[in-house]
Amino acid sequence: MLNKFDIQIRDEQDYAVIDTEGYLNDALGEALSAKAHGLIQEGRTKLVINLEKTALINSIGISILIEIIEALDEREGTLNFCGLSATQERTFRMMAIAKYAGIFPDEQAAIENL
């Protein structure tokens, strides 16, 4: 079963914003992980992931997000999320993602707090 997804990167000078679209499961998660690790390899240590167009996340998606957080943590980088639904925000807080990454209501705030 193929769920359509899309990832867009806006690579600014000091930071990068990753926009996801679709179900954040293994397929989208791995693609997101590859993009994020690519940016980290290139020296980007400040990332924003905008999940505004991702309404659905499963446990694999969550574990991949944790991997990205840990990979950035090793480089002493910062990851902020924005565009989360109320349920997603509660999920992130409950899964301790919010402990290691920032959660902001909009992209501007997420960028400003990198």
Q: Cβ–Cβ contacts within 10 Å for residue 108, how many?
A: 11
> Cβ closer to other proteins: 60 or 111?
60
CA 88 – CA 72 distance, rounded (Å): 21
7 binds other proteins per the rule CB under 8 A: no
Name the residue among 59, 32, 30 with its Cα closest to residue 48: 32
What number of H helices and E strands is found in the chain?
A: 5, 5
27 binds other proteins per the rule CB under 8 A: yes
Q: Which of 6, 11, 34, 106 binds other proteins (CB under 8 A)?
A: 34
How many residues touch other proteins under the rule CB under 8 A: the total is 28
Q: How far is the CB of 112 from other proteins (least distance, A)?
A: 27
70 binds other proteins per the rule CB under 8 A: yes
